[in-house]
Structure 1
Amino acid sequence: MKTRQAQARSSLPGETRQRRRALALLAVATAIGSTGLAAGGTAGALLAVDIAKAQAMAGVPLGLLVLGSAAGAPMLAQQAAIGRRVRGLALGYAVGVAGAVVVVLAALWQNLPLLLAGSFFLGVANSAVFMSRYAAMDTATAGTRGHAIGVVFAATALGAIVSPTLLGPSGAVARAMGLPPLAGLYLAAVLAFGFAAALLATRSGTLGPRPEPGYGFVAVLADTVRRRAAVTAVGVLAATNFVMVGVMTIAPVHLTEHGHSLGQVGAIVALHVTGMFAVAPLTGLLADRKGPAGVARLGGLLLAVAMVIGLFVERSGALVMTVHLLVLGVAWNCGVVGGSTLLGTAVPAETRPHVEGIAEVMMGLAAATAGPLSGLVAEFGGYPAFCLIGTPAAVFLFLRRIPS
């Protein structure tokens, strides 16, 4: 008769296989779902200008998308808290499908309010893409959380890099269907989000800790505030997102104003996106082996380097701008991987889904603040002006003592 210890050992290989299958499912669903990201980030601005005939409207759909992403985070976190992590992600993608359909109708009818409403709901699917990293941590053991995040972020890179390249082909498909070409990326989003939702909906059971009742939002927030490591992790995530979104709001405008073609702008932004996601397996490994605090501080250092380079882009060519945005992308990756992994160890498993929702809302609010602020600052002080604002935040992250 086996002892209890021997039985536990014999179940480990099966548990490991189950974890790997769950992580593989998340990675595939995220790779597919992230191919819908360019709909809101690329086509939204162009479609708003086309409908409103005013360039000032270009950033409004993205702003609504960011707000939708922040609003969707608590909903997905609540699903995770009651033991429905994967179903929550599937629901987020399904809401994104509805949003994309609404925008297609807005393009067909040239209706700006519909475009803005659809952009908001599209943001919920974006929230599902990025909150998949927390689901990945549920598949990991204590020493492999960084690796799990790295796998999902690498999958995100595949879809996020491919997504903008669909602008031309999807436009041709939309035109053949009698729709405006700019509706094409939203048709791609319908397919991507829909397939990701269907794939995740096939998974039965729960992922992560079993739900335990009695954890209200106020109690969770009060407990989180008392935990220095948790507060620091949320701060790292929000500050990193603030700097990155602020720069990337004005970078494409700066490039086009200085005579760079749309093709050049797309290539430079693609390198930036590669830095954001493709290095995640390496940063995840570093977080597991050296600790998340070190990776987060590395992110702060790289953010500071990127901001200093940004001070000189006014008088430089495309090469300096490319290096600036590539370093910025890697810095964002370090901050998010380090901050997310730190958050996973800073709070109890039972309350972690709620805290993850708080962190995502803070990242969304930081992004929603940085976008308009950077545009305003750049209007009066030029591109380097926002880099001057971002530099102290980056240096603070690097110098701050981050709990392990």
Structure 2
Amino acid sequence: MQLRRLSPLLASPRRRLRLRSPTNPSSATMSPGAAHLATAADPDEDLCASAGASEAEVPAPAPHLPPLPVSAEERLERAWAHWRRLGSPRLLVAPMVDNSELPFRMLCRRYGADAAYTPMLHSRIFSENEKYRSMEFTTCKEDRPLFVQFCANDPDILLQAAKKVEPYCDYVDINFGCPQRIARRGNYGAFLMDNLPLVKSLVQNLAANLHVPVSVKIRVFPRLEDTLAYAKMLEEAGASLVAVHGRTRDEKDGKKFRADWDAIKAVKDALRVPVLANGNIRHMEDVKNCLEHTGADGVLSAETLLENPAVFAGFRTKEWKEDGDENGDGGLDQADLVIEYLKLCEQYPVPWRMVRSHVHKMLGDWFRVHPEVREELNKQNKLTFEWLHDMVMRLKDLGGRVPLYRKETALGQTLASSNA
């Protein structure tokens, strides 16, 4: 597996980062073992690294697609042809700030994810700051299909950022769905729903100037007719794929507000490009039900994967375990997944803050049984792989294993055959 970092880190950790063009990947070979930001004030902002990591070569850039067709019909045909070339992925890792980074994407792919989004990247900072580029976006040749997601409110700045990643992804995605306060302050994400001309210009500028297709991720309006008009505008502006989170921007709590699958179905019925559904995916039965209800071309999962990255392989947490003999201990638990994740982090270094966040989320049930171990983790100012491996072993030795459960089902085979 080969690591790709947009702004490669030099061999000496004391050397300053230096940007090299992603269009010349042969000049960007680096050693993951050298990937360390000595200038970071907070140890959690350092890149995790393994002394034994082998040198990695960068993947070749993706071949450029033909120029944007003039005909709307031809553009729609190309949108579907591209989707099918990718294998028509049905199970996708959603974009999550600080939580859908390369090692986590690779873990989810290992357990059934067909495609994945990067974390949301800030287009202006990405365009201007080499340290941000180096730390926040990495990929490798096995990390495909890949959506690179940006938040933005300036078409030209967004295009500058997108140009840097287009050779290394399958879609450049625009975030029109973030409902958080920071998005309100920064005037991006779901708060651009109040400025539809700007939304349209962001999509049009990318679609007219990139060789890779443009996708968008949106939330719904309170009124269905507004949602449909919004989605159709995005398609007409040049979006080759639309992912729909079936909640409004005011419905931030996924446990309190159920996603509106009827609204997603209406969007799917109204559009002619691929549509993905996001919301209410807790296990594979939800995947099956969502695809049947909405007719969507795939589903996204976010919060559920953070707790259980093996969701798409059919594993469930105890919260969603069903009664019956066919549901049993699947021979896997979240501590096993943490060990796998840490090994991937040694191979693909990322900031320690991301590692710390994933460990907390995956071991939440264990920490409720042994809160003293969680407190030890919280007190660690500077993490190491050795300390984290020892912590997981201590949890296992303390007992109280929290298994994942697996129901034997033909759903995976059904999804696979539908992609053939």
Q: Same fold (TM over 0.5)?
A: no
Please identify which structure carries the higher strand content. Answer: 2
State the TM-score, normalizing by the size of structure 1: 0.24
Please identify which structure carries the higher helix content. Answer: 1
